Amino acid sequence: MSILMDESTTVSSLSGMVVYVTASILNLEPTFIFLDLVELKSQTASNIVSQLIKCLYTSGFTEKFLVEHWISFVTDEASVLLKKRNEVAICLKKKYPLIFNGTILIIE
């Protein structure tokens, strides 16, 4: 399972992140699924990680499932997350060891 995130700021200066999940079952083509639009309380790495994990729990993912199946985290270069990306990725890697460094990508 991979998590894709994109951060955005509204005209009224509210920050949010769009969360997508991609997964492949039985060697079929990966499927991209819109999961949620989350308003960010702050743009710190710890808050982004906290709100992302809360979003995943709220959507029905268990901690056990995430530990066993979460293998990548993806964000784009235009995002404010780029500044925090390494911190976010480090926090996620500590908590979810299957996320390997080669899949913490920046999409241009």
**What is the radius of gyration, based on Cα positions, of the chain?**
13
Distance between CA atoms of 108 and 106, rounded to whole angstroms? 6
| Single-letter code of the amino acid located at 55 | C
Angle in degrees, CA 54, 8, 47, rounded to 5: 35
Q: Answer yes or no: pTM beyond 0.85.
A: no
Domain ranges of the chain: 2-107
- Tokens for 39? 């308003």
> Could you list the mean pLDDT of each consecutive 10-residue stretch along the chain, which spans 108 residues?
79 85 86 93 88 97 96 69 67 89 48
> What is the pLDDT, as a whole number, of residue 28?
86
